[in-house]
C-alpha cells in the first residue's frame, strides 16, 4: 500500500470519528464509476472506468454549515490526498466540472461517461433493475 493510500484510509477513519453527522461511504481501493456501483453487475463493470480514475471515498454534507466546517477541516488535514468537492445537482457533468473545486492536484475525470449516462446519482439509483440492464447494454455499445 502506498503512503498516500495509507494516509487516505487514516483520513477516512478520522472523518468518521470527527464528523459523525456526515454520510461517509467506504474506501474504494480501485477506480469507481460515477459513484454508482451497486445496482447492476454489467453496468458496474462498465462504469469502473470513470469518472473517478483512482481509489476514493465519498462524504456527503447536508447543510451549508457542515459543508463550510468540513471544507475548512480538509484544507488543513487532507495531507497528500487530492480532494474533489462538488455539489449534487441534477447535472452530474456540471457538478464534476464547472461547479467542482479541487484541493491538491486535480485528477482527470471521465466526464464523457457522465454525459453518456445522462442522469445524476439519485436518478441512477432510482432506476429499476431491468432498465439498468438495458442501459448497461447501450453504454457498452456506444
- All residues at 6 or more sequence positions from 45 whose CB lies less than 8 Å from its CB, including other chains: none
Distances from the Cα of 83 to the Cα of 38, 39, 126, 135, angstroms? 23, 26, 27, 30
**Average pLDDT, stretch 77-82?**
92
CATH code for the domain in which residue 75 is found: 3.30.70.1240
pTM above 0.75, yes or no: no
**Average pLDDT, stretch 45-59?**
61
- All residues at 6 or more sequence positions from 96 whose CB lies less than 8 Å from its CB, including other chains: 51, 84, 86, 109, 111, 114
> What pLDDT does residue 35 have?
40
| Model confidence pLDDT, tens digit, residues 93-133 | 888 899 989 999 998 887 877 777 776 666 767 777 777 77
**How many Cβ atoms are within 10 Å of 15's Cβ, its own excluded?**
18
Domain tally, the chain: 1
What is the domain range of residue 16? Answer: 3-141
What grid cell was written down for 106?
Answer: 486535480
Amino acid at each position: 500500500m502506498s503512503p498516500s493510500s495509507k494516509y487516505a484510509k487514516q483520513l477516512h477513519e478520522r472523518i468518521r470519528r470527527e464528523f459523525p453527522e456526515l454520510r461517509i461511504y467506504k474506501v474504494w481501493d480501485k477506480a469507481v464509476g460515477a459513484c454508482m456501483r451497486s445496482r447492476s453487475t454489467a453496468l458496474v463493470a462498465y462504469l469502473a472506468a470513470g469518472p473517478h480514475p483512482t481509489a476514493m471515498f465519498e462524504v456527503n454534507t447536508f447543510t451549508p454549515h457542515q459543508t463550510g466546517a468540513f471544507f475548512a477541516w480538509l484544507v488543513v488535514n487532507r495531507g497528500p490526498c487530492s480532494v474533489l468537492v462538488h455539489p449534487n445537482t441534477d447535472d452530474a457533468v456540471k457538478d464534476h466540472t464547472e461547479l467542482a473545486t479541487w484541493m491538491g492536484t486535480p485528477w482527470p475525470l471521465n466526464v464523457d461517461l457522465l454525459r453518456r449516462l445522462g442522469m445524476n446519482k439519485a436518478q441512477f439509483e432510482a432506476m429499476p433493475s431491468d432498465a439498468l440492464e438495458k442501459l448497461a447494454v447501450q453504454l457498452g455499445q456506444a
